[in-house]
Amino acid sequence: MAGFCRVSVVGWLSRDPESDYTPNGTLRMKLSIPVSRRYTDRNGQEQENTAWYNVTVLGRSAEGLMKLSEMGALAKGKQVFVEGRLEPRDWVDKEGKNRTSLDITADFVQLLGSRADNQGGGSRGGSGAPFGDDEAPIDNVPF
């Protein structure tokens, strides 16, 4: 039986996007997104846990994001919504320890804004332009 795994993440880019090409010539853009969760532990102490996600965007979606990056609209500190597949990746750290990370291969990325946009009156800001495999404008969703 086949399985299904989808994940959605909203977070602030921790660094500027990086891009390169796969061996077969497909544009690949890499994003890094930390997502923090605040909670109260059993002792009543406020805690924060941050998960870091490495996001890979390929093909036409990466091309659209590359244009935003070149214009400065997609850069460190910008808030994005990412939807895609969660995929485990094994790697070895600097101390030689085996590690596993859960990376996201994005099917859809939407720029939401920047921290500066959210400081003055709560404006969402950003282009709001989605980039995904279908690249349909969000206003044309039939529901």
- CATH assignment at residue 88: 2.40.50.140
**Is residue 143, in this structure, part of any structural domain at all?**
no
31-85, pLDDT tens digit by residue?
Answer: 999 998 999 999 999 999 998 899 999 999 999 999 989 988 899 999 999 999 9
**127 pLDDT exceeds 50?**
no
**Is residue 83, in this structure, part of any structural domain at all?**
yes
**Is residue 1, in this structure, part of any structural domain at all?**
no
> In whole angstroms, what is the distance from residue 143 CA to residue 139 CA?
10
Look-up: residue for tokens 């590690």?
99
**Is residue 55, in this structure, part of any structural domain at all?**
yes
Within 8 A by CB and 6+ apart from 108, the residues are 61, 81, 82, 83, 84, 130, 131, 132, 133
Residue 102: predicted pLDDT: 82
**Is residue 134, in this structure, part of any structural domain at all?**
no
- Work out how many domains the chain is built from and give that number: 1
6-34, pLDDT tens digit by residue?
Answer: 999 999 999 999 999 999 999 999 999 99
**Is residue 137, in this structure, part of any structural domain at all?**
no
107: containing domain: 7-38+46-128
Are 17 and 30 contacting, i.e. CB atoms less than 8 angstroms apart? yes
Residue 140: predicted pLDDT: 42
Q: Using 50, 70 and 90 to split pLDDT, how confident is the model at 2?
A: confident
**Is residue 25, in this structure, part of any structural domain at all?**
yes
**Nearest one of 53, 55, 66, 34 to 105, comparing CA atoms:** 55
Q: Using 50, 70 and 90 to split pLDDT, how confident is the model at 121?
A: very low
pTM greater than 0.85: no
Q: Using 50, 70 and 90 to split pLDDT, how confident is the model at 101?
A: confident
Establish how many alpha carbons lie within 13 A of residue 9's alpha carbon, considering only the half-sphere containing its beta carbon: 29
Q: What are φ and ψ of residue 68, in 5° steps?
A: -65, -40
**Is residue 53, in this structure, part of any structural domain at all?**
yes
Q: Using 50, 70 and 90 to split pLDDT, how confident is the model at 119?
A: low
Residue 91: predicted pLDDT: 87
